[in-house]
Chains A and B, each alone.
Chain A
Amino acid sequence: SAVISQKPSRDICQRGTSLTIQCQVDSQVTMMFWYRQQPGQSLTLIATANQGSEATYESGFVIDKFPISRPNLTFSTLTVSNMSPEDSSIYLCSVERPSSYEQYFGPGTRLTVT
């Protein structure tokens, strides 16, 4: 399975600011995914990021709020822009085991917005 790291592991931010979360994988992968998980809740897909194309956002999530970069096959970033307390959550990236639909998750970034 892929080894996935995320930075930062946690952060406390002021409302109105932006935070960029990094996701690094130890092998080349085609599809990367970004999820949000409220504490004690389920996972909600934010967007799918394929290298070389624009990210595909799910309903309720927009590029202006959650811009994503995917510069190569091992790295992606998610920016949470103009943050409000409602953005406090755990943000997880995941990658797919090739041609399987199985996903491997990073350790997550715990974001608190004050």
Chain B
Amino acid sequence: GQQVMQIPQYQHVQEGEDFTTYCNSSTTLSNIQWYKQRPGGHPVFLIQLVKSGEVKKQKRLTFQFGEAKKNSSLHITATQTTDVGTYFCAGVSMGGGSNYKLTFGKGTLLTVNP
């Protein structure tokens, strides 16, 4: 079945430093999504990328979708303590009819030292 690998597993940074997490799928994806889960919380949708080579920005966050639609990255510029949490990528793969499935990567836990 489809596998989505994500690295690194953990990242500890000083506040103000940049952060990047990478996601790689074993198969070509329809779309890719990113979620953030704060400690003790539930995953919260951040963004969805659909097009090959797409780049989207949300304030200090930059999301990229690879040309082959098999990899993606999330980059945070100048991290803040509010960025703490686990960032998951999730690959969207289509099933039959209107069915689809999200396959989540293992996530990257970001901690920020103030």
What is A's interface to B at a CB cutoff of 8 Å?
33, 40-45, 48, 56, 58-59, 92, 100-108
Interface bin, chain B? 20 to 34
Q: How far is the CA of A23 from the CA of B25 in the complex (A)?
A: 31
Complex contacts, A105 vs chain B, CB 8 Å: 42-44
What is B's interface to A at a CB cutoff of 8 Å?
1, 30-31, 33, 41-45, 48, 88, 92, 99-107, 109
Give the number of A-B contacts (CB < 8 Å).
Answer: 46
In the complex formed, the residue of B with least CB distance to A93 is B42
Complex contacts, A92 vs chain B, CB 8 Å: 42-43
In the complex formed, the residue of B with least CB distance to A33 is B102
In the complex, what's the smallest C-beta–C-beta distance from B41 to chain A, in angstroms? 8
Known contacts A43-B43, A107-B42; is-contact A102 B99 (Cβ 8 Å): no
Q: How far is the CA of A12 from the CA of B101 in the complex (A)?
A: 30
Q: How far is the CA of A45 from the CA of B106 in the complex (A)?
A: 13
Residue from B30, B48, B106 within 8 A of A102 (CB atoms):
B48
The answer to whether B106 touches A42 (Cβ under 8 A) is yes
The answer to whether B42 touches A48 (Cβ under 8 A) is no
The answer to whether B102 touches A103 (Cβ under 8 A) is yes
5 shortest A-B CB distances, which residue pairs?
A105-B42, A43-B104, A42-B106, A42-B104, A105-B43
